[in-house]
């Protein structure tokens, strides 16, 4: 599935370069119009990140999200500063399709099983952001990619699988927002090792060929942000490419 991504900061659509708030690009789109357009084309899930909430959960853009969730709640996968049961319950009560949990996957790993049991494994998406180190060690970073956890990706995936996790959004930080292409080796490795997990690939996608190559790794979903906003290709072209690749599987 193709999942368009929209990052929101101060009620505006933006993109960060490798998660850096100092390297910020604003885009002149109206959020509600883009959502309406994506839904009209048959997009099932739209990935939205509250960058204010990610930076400080107390600054969550509640007014903005109340408006869009009220209209598009069945299509929204939302993340950004969701770190406890109260945050999960808040978005669950609004009726979003899925919520994305990042830092809390590491900081509150002992609670994750309870959250999955309570809300279901189709509701919770685990977001794992990695840097590829020496010897191909995939180390997880949290807290806006500032904190090195020194924990390897595979060890957390094994634990999450034991918790009955279904959806995992995995991002190579070095690729995010760069348009330099995705880390195909990363996705091929984790899909091969954890075939029961539905992976969402994110970061670096700049061409239609990137979609084809990612699809060949057998990831279940591809998240695309900057390329669509900068019209490198259209959402329709992305969807057609995905469907064409599906027909060849």
Tell me which residue of 180, 178, 160 sits closest to 168, measured CA to CA.
Answer: 160
Of 7, 52, 87, 176, which one is the catalytic site residue? 7
Which element (helix H / strand E) includes 68?
helix 62-72
- For this structure, is 7 an active site residue? yes
Contact assessment for residue 246 and residue 51, using Cβ atoms and an 8 Å cutoff = no
- For this structure, is 210 an active site residue? no
Contact assessment for residue 97 and residue 76, using Cβ atoms and an 8 Å cutoff = yes
For residue 164, what are its two tokens? 């009955």
Contact assessment for residue 164 and residue 139, using Cβ atoms and an 8 Å cutoff = no
Within 163-202, residue ranges assigned H as helices are 184-193
Q: What angle do CA 218, 221, 222 make, to 5 degrees?
A: 105
Angle between helix 62-72 and 85-94 (nearest 10):
40
Distance CA 247, CA 249 (A): 6
Distance CA 112, CA 48 (A): 21
Of 129, 172, 176, 210, which one is the catalytic site residue? 129
**Collapsing DSSP states into helix, strand and coil, what is residue 2?**
strand
Catalogue the active-site residues.
7, 129
């Amino acid at each position: 599935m193709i999942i368009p991504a929209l990052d929101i900061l101060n009620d505006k659509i933006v993109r960060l370069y490798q998660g850096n708030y100092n390297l910020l690009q604003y885009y002149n789109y109206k959020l509600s119009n883009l959502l309406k357009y994506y839904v009209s084309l048959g997009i099932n899930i739209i990935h939205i990140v509250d960058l204010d909430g990610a930076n400080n959960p107390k600054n969550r853009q509640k007014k903005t999200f109340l408006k869009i969730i009220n209209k598009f709640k069945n299509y929204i996968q939302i993340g950004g500063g969701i770190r406890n049961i109260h945050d999960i319950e808040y978005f669950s009560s609004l009726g979003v399709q899925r919520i994305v949990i990042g830092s809390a996957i590491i900081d509150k790993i002992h609670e994750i099983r309870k959250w999955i049991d309570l809300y279901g494994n189709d509701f919770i998406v685990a977001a794992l952001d990695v840097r590829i180190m020496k010897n191909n060690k995939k180390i997880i970073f949290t807290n806006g990619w500032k904190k090195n956890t020194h924990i390897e990706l595979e060890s957390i995936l094994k634990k999450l699988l034991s918790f009955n996790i279904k959806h995992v959004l995995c991002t190579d930080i070095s690729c995010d927002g760069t348009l330099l292409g995705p880390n195909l080796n990363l996705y091929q490795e984790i899909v091969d090792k954890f075939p029961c997990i539905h992976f969402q690939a994110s970061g670096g996608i700049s061409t239609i060929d990137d979609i084809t190559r990612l699809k060949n790794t057998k990831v279940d979903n591809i998240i695309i942000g900057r390329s669509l906003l900068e019209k490198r290709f259209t959402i329709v072209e992305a969807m057609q490419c995905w469907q064409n690749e599906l027909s060849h599987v």
